[in-house]
Amino acid sequence: MEGPPANDVCSICMARFEVPCQANCSHWFCGKCIMQYWQHGPTFLPCKCPLCRCQITLLVPGEASLRERRNPAVAEVLENIEKYNRLFGGQTRGVRQRFQDLPFLLRRLLREMITPSRSLPFVIQARVYIAVKSI
């Protein structure tokens, strides 16, 4: 996709797109606007599209903005978008993350079973259950 539809405006700032980025739900926003929108919410959760409430896990900058990368302001926005994509984009990382968490949780579960005087907090049990179920 080259860029947002002609005559369309960013639905956050209601102005012409600056460093337009397309979200995985196909809506376009200024790179800066959608980053600011995300910073209003929790950092470690992907933001939801202000238009369709779809969870945004990928932002794809338009080709025109990629060509403007020499402009430091544009480069900064693009860097933030890449960071966002690394945090929330792609399922593979999510699965790997869960695998990394699992040994820690299982070790903890084992330790708790060996020392039955301390009962395992329900939250940890639930987390192990969820981690095992989702693999």
Half-sphere exposure of 77 (CA within 13 A, CB side): 25
What residues between 65 and 94 interact with Zn ion by CB under 5 A?
Answer: none
CA angle at residue 37 from 23 to 65, to 5 degrees?
50
The piece of 49-57, 78-86, 95-103, 118-126 that touches Zn ion (CB under 5 A) is 49-57
CA dist., res. 39 & res. 14, Å (int) = 19
Which residues of 24-95 form beta strands (DSSP E)?
28-30, 59-61
97-126: contacts with Zn ion (CB under 5 A): none
- Rg of the chain over Cα atoms, rounded to whole angstroms, equals 20
Which token pair is 35?
């980053």
Q: Does 10 bind Zn ion (CB under 5 A)?
A: yes
Selected from 25, 64, 75, 131, the binder of Zn ion by CB under 5 A is 25
Stretch that binds Zn ion, among 22-30, 36-44, 61-69, 113-121 (CB under 5 A): 22-30
Task: Examine residue 52 and tell whether it contacts Zn ion (CB under 5 A).
Answer: yes
List of residues contacting Zn ion (CB under 5 A)? 10, 12-13, 25, 27, 30, 33, 49, 51-52, 54
